[in-house]
């Protein structure tokens, strides 16, 4: 009752603003809820990535935490746990991402979900290119005890960024097609856990600093939101 009265008051007192907000929260329309959520996620992730890169450039306390945490992992590493972290890290390796990409690609082709297929290609292929571009742009060295075979720059973490992108894409696809909220919550928890485990494995193995994986998560989320929002807006426009 109270909510209805407030709604009527706002609609009468601020008709233009009310209509604008209502349109942004509508599930229908070209610039509805999908664009609102996508814009918020993209802006938030981009802001976070910008904050992390600023800390790296200016040498803020985050870089000190990077060193301390990396040394802690190095001093507490055990052979058994290292082996487990290597398996976890492999979940976002290039072969693993390629296999997952191929599987999802086949499913989308079979279901003839062309816009989702376009989104998958943009997200994964574009994400790989973006990661290489950012690595070369910042050219940040990896931890001193990293595997000598890892010659490319460390920021942002490629494994973490691709885990964020590929698992985030699959999670978004499933959440939008499942009506059960408990199932949606479970999917979100599993996806977040997988990304964080991959990030942890990269730090534990000495391949990256904390800021490397945090920056990768932020960049991956921003790119995922940008691609999916753009493709969905295109689909609605053509419909």
pLDDT in tens, 76-103: 889 899 999 999 999 999 999 999 999 9
Return the closest-CA partner of residue 211 out of 51, 93, 86: 51
Q: What is the mean pLDDT of residues 98-123?
A: 95
Q: Report if residue 35 sits inside a domain.
A: no
pLDDT higher than threshold 60 for residue 7? no
Return the closest-CA partner of residue 122 out of 213, 37, 230, 40: 230
Residue matched to tokens 């802006």? 43
Boundaries of domain holding 207: 41-238
Q: Which two tokens stand for residue 89?
A: 């890290």
CA–CA separation, 191 and 234 (whole Å): 27
Q: Report if residue 111 sits inside a domain.
A: yes
**23 and 47, same structural domain?**
no
Q: Report if residue 177 sits inside a domain.
A: yes
**232 and 150, same structural domain?**
yes
The helix (H) or strand (E) run that includes residue 59 is none
**The predicted structure's pLDDT at residue 10:** 47
* Terminal C-alpha separation, the chain: 37
Question: Could you give the number of structural domains in the chain?
Answer: 2
**The predicted structure's pLDDT at residue 193:** 96
Q: What is the CATH number of the domain that holds 169?
A: 1.20.144
Residue matched to tokens 């609605």? 236
Residue 58 CB partners (closer than 8 Å, separation 6+): none
**97 and 187, same structural domain?**
yes
**58 and 4, same structural domain?**
no
**101 and 73, same structural domain?**
yes
**1 and 69, same structural domain?**
no
Residue 166 CB partners (closer than 8 Å, separation 6+): 92, 97, 100, 101, 104, 123, 124
Three-state secondary structure string covering 79-94: HHHHHHHHHHHHCCCH
Q: Which two tokens stand for residue 153?
A: 């720059």
**140 and 57, same structural domain?**
yes
**202 and 177, same structural domain?**
yes
Q: Report if residue 214 sits inside a domain.
A: yes
**201 and 98, same structural domain?**
yes
Residue 211: burial class (beta carbons within 10 Å; 0-12, 13-18, 19+): buried
**45 and 17, same structural domain?**
no
Q: Which two tokens stand for residue 145?
A: 């005890």
Question: What totals of helices (H) and strands (E) does the chain contain, helices first?
Answer: 10, 0
Neighbours of 87 (CB within 10 A): 9
pTM more than 0.85:
yes
**19 and 91, same structural domain?**
no
Q: Report if residue 126 sits inside a domain.
A: yes
For residue 148, what is the DSSP state? T
CA–CA separation, 61 and 115 (whole Å): 43
Q: Report if residue 36 sits inside a domain.
A: no
pLDDT for 181-226, tens place per residue? 999 999 999 999 999 999 999 999 999 999 999 999 999 999 999 9
Q: Which two tokens stand for residue 219?
A: 């960049």
Residue matched to tokens 């802690």? 72
**The predicted structure's pLDDT at residue 61:** 85
Q: Report if residue 155 sits inside a domain.
A: yes
Q: Report if residue 221 sits inside a domain.
A: yes
**52 and 2, same structural domain?**
no
């Amino acid at each position: 009752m109270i909510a209805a009265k407030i709604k009527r008051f706002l609609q009468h007192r601020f008709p233009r603003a009310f209509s604008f907000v209502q349109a942004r929260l509508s599930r229908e329309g070209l610039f509805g809820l999908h664009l609102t959520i996508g814009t918020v996620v993209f802006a938030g992730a981009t802001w976070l990535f910008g904050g992390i890169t600023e800390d790296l450039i200016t040498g803020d306390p985050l870089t000190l935490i990077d060193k301390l945490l990396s040394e802690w992992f190095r001093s507490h590493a055990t052979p058994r746990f290292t082996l487990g972290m290597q398996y976890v890290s492999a979940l976002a390796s290039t072969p693993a991402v390629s296999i997952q990409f191929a599987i999802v690609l086949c499913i989308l082709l079979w279901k003839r979900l062309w816009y989702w297929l376009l989104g998958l290609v943009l997200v994964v292929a574009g994400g790989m290119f973006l990661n290489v571009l950012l690595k070369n742009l910042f050219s940040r060295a990896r931890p001193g005890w990293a595997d000598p075979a890892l010659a490319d720059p460390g920021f942002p973490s490629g494994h973490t960024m691709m885990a964020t992108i590929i698992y985030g894409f699959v999670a978004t696809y499933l959440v939008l097609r499942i009506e059960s909220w408990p199932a949606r919550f479970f999917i979100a928890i599993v996806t977040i856990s997988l990304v964080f485990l991959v990030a942890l494995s990269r730090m534990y193995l000495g391949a990256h600093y904390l800021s490397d994986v945090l920056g990768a998560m932020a960049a991956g989320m921003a790119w995922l939101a940008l691609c999916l929002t753009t493709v969905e807006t295109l689909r609605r426009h053509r419909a």
